Amino acid sequence: MKLRKILLTVLLFLLTFILAVPCFADRGVTKDTIKIGIINQKTGPASALGLPHSYGTIDYFEYVNEQGGIHGRKIVVIFEDDQFEAPKSVALFNKLIHRDEVLTITNCGGTNQTIANMENIKKYKTPNIPNTTAREFWEPYNPYLYSMGCSYEGQYQCMVDYIFNDLKAEKPRIGVVYAKKEYGKIGLEATRERAKAYGVDLISELVLPTGAVDASSQILTLQQNNVDYVITCDILPPIVTFLKTAEKYNYNPKAIFGFNWAADPSIVQACGNAAKNFIGVNYVGSWTDNAPGINLMRDLAKKYGRDLKLTSLYLNGAGAGMIFVEALKRTGKNLNSDTLKEAFETLRNFETGGVFPPVTYTSKSHAPPEMVKLFKADVPNKTLVPVTDWRKPREMKK
Amino acid sequence: MACLITLPIWSDPFIVYLIILSCIATIAALGLNILTGLTGQISLGHAAFFAIGAYCTAIASHRFDMPFWICLPASAFLSAFIGLLLGLPCLRLKGLYLAMATMSFGVVVEYVVITWDKVTYGVRGISVPTLSLFGYPLDSNNKIYYFLLAVVVVMVIGGTNLVRTRVGRAFVAIRDKDVAAEAIGIELTKYKVMAFTISSLYAGLAGGLYAYVMNYIHPEHFTFLLSIQYLAMIIVGGLGTILGSIIGAVFIVITPEIIKSLTQVLALLIPGMANKYNEEWNVAAFGLLIILFLMFEPKGLFGIWSRIKMCFKNWPFTY
């Protein structure tokens, strides 16, 4: 009797290991539908960014569905909320793959979330356009991550290039205000290195927490150190606080720079005159541009009743949606993870109608275009207007 | 036990993943229950020991390519050692003061992890290689599940035996009345510090396992809310009981899925409920569960389970 129990247990163990083989066959694709997952922030402090980004993607998919879908298949979106927490993002990734059986997941929520899901993305072959631009997503080559836009390093290099080459500053006093987050640290290091390449050291390096409600100590320090160019490495809400506090103390540097997660027309709407010296860097076109892709998304936002506070995030999500749709179209009827991956790698200077710079992916590189535009605040019209065309960071002599 | 062993065969892979998270939570909750439930020492810094264990495993495996049989024990013993160091100054503290001290310790650990980026990689986080069992990679959820199940069984047996020994009885005596315990010859210093050490050992081991399961850790994984979550597990499960730690851990881990499923069921009955699910309901749910259980069922789910068991045992009699 005891022996039978032992033998039964061993047999059960063996059966389990034999059956423990994950099955990927044509997940998420039926005759009529393509199931796609989105993990982003619906609630929590980062929902101000996550929601418009997701709506951009969802609205573009809905537009494509209204046009007849992709080869007769409609896109069904399952949108999950990770509250900007990596463990939740990993749990939701597992749920979307195993329970909802989606074909792919367009993005995992952010830098940390995407890093946490890197093994999952490779294992379950889910082509993914991260809503973040960390260099480790394309260096080394990752077969299922397709980076968009410009790396944080590239954005900060463009800012410093602008100070020296466009504003023609001689011996500029540059200060950095950054968040103790991934993007903040990258921004600080990139600015420091680039300034050094021009022969200049940073005057101030100050932390501004993401949830800051006051920036008095940072402003007073910058004023004391006579900093005339401030480079910020923080998302929009604390930069609004920073600009308003600068106005309160009558601190008027020649320029205050912000990266893509702060470069949105809503910063001018929120700050008014306080944003007069603000220059934003973004790899997304301006909401007021007269370009086909941007015109379409403005119409869709109106049609679906989107009350958008951050239009650049909406365009960001829409651009990702456009790239996904193009890749889905190029797979033809035979759609699965592998054919989708191959389809992405056929994109050569693919245009998104002015939303993003032209996109190219190959079987050896999924790097982003590394191009940005710089936008200056137009206070009377409460928007940002481009002051440059698409540009890359300058090649510096070593 | 048969259900657990055969779980990957008959259940959804997502359920297996939830049970993996529950296994890790069980080990950590067991540790907290030994300290808070058995010994009566409230701790709001349990996430800090969990973090120490996770970072120890992450750094040892990522930077020094150490195998799991060095990383996991190192995590457990490092956390235990730091628990011992924390336990000594906390000896005279009770109640609110002890809670504040442990909470402050959690804040300090979070700060160190973010700032000491040469070692911990700070806000960039650390990738952790796949757990490999003497050359055999545990690269699927099913394989990790069995490994974790074995570890949980060992830790539960250890905890159960601890409760039955002289040490466990000393802990209970300290919880019930420390002055009386000292009067009958129980050394408060020794046993309180021992409670902190054992609790931290469990948390450190759970943290190490968490690092292997997630393959990536970041300071934001180990916030104060995690300490509250563990406290919720032992209150809801049953303070001072081993089975309560297990039930509470599983219940709290699957609560968000229960709420989501309830929303979907309600959506069939109430139009407009579809897609109304909000992740912030989980935070409210944890708070509500703690309040409800403290008010109406102080013995937690273990108390309910005990009554059900007694009812079946005595049936058709009531006692």
The pLDDT of residue A5: 59
Tell me the chain A residues in contact with residue B214 when contact means C-beta distances shorter than 8 Å. 86-87, 90, 116
Specify if B160 maps to a domain: yes
At A398 the pLDDT is 63
Query: What is the number of domains present in chain B?
Result: 1
In a domain, B70, yes or no: yes
Q: By C-alpha distance, which of B83, B53, B93 is closest to B212?
A: B53
Q: Kindly give, in sequence order, each residue whose CB lies less than 8 Å from that of residue B46, ignoring residues fewer than 6 positions away.
A: B28, B31, B32, B102, B199, B203, B226, B227, B230, B231
CATH numbers and ranges of domains, chain A: 33-149+289-344 (3.40.50.2300), 152-282+373-386 (3.40.50.2300)
Q: DSSP 3-state assignment of B271?
A: coil
Instruction: Tell me whether residues B12 and A99 touch, CB distance under 8 A.
Output: yes
Structure tokens at A286: 């301006």
Q: Which of A141-145, B31-35, B134-138 has the lowest mean pLDDT?
A: B134-138
CA distance to A112, A177, B60, B120, B121, per residue, from B63 (Å): 19, 31, 6, 10, 11
pLDDT for position A9: 55
Cα–Cα distance, B42 to B32 (Å, whole number):
9
Q: Could you tell me where the DSSP H helices lie in A152-273? A: 152-161, 182-197, 216-224, 236-248, 265-271
Asked whether residue B47 is assigned to any structural domain, the reply reads: yes
Q: In chain B, which residues have their Cβ closer than 8 Å to the Cβ of A22?
A: 13, 140
Q: At what angle do helices B68-87 and B188-214 cross, to 10 degrees?
A: 140
Predicted confidence (pLDDT) at residue A295 exceeds the cutoff of 50 = yes
CB contact under 8 Å between B214 and A86, yes or no, is: yes
Residue A14 pLDDT > 90, yes or no?
A: no
User: pLDDT of B300-319, one tens digit each?
Assistant: 888 888 888 888 888 776 66
Longest dimension (CA), chain A: 90
Q: What is the pLDDT of residue B282?
A: 75
Contacts of A329 (CB under 8 A, 6+ apart): A70, A71, A343
For residue B140, the chain A residues in CB contact (below 8 A) are 20, 22
ipTM here: 0.75
Asked whether residue B303 is assigned to any structural domain, the reply reads no
Q: Cβ B218–A20 below 8 Å, yes or no? A: no
Which residues on chain A are in Cβ contact (under 8 Å) with B216?
A: 86, 112, 115-116, 118
A135 shares contact with chain B (CB less than 8 Å):
no
Query: CB-based contact (8 Å) between B13 and chain A?
Result: yes
- Interval B179-194: pLDDT, tens: 899 999 999 999 999 9
Q: How confident is the model at residue A201 (pLDDT cuts 50, 70, 90)?
A: very high
**Domain containing residue B58:** 2-223
The answer to whether residue B151 sits within a structural domain is: yes
Q: Identify whether B285 is part of a domain.
A: no
Contact B302, B241 (CB under 8 A): yes
Whether B249 maps to a domain, the answer reads no
Q: Which of A20, A118, A185 sits opposite B123 (nearest CB)?
A: A185
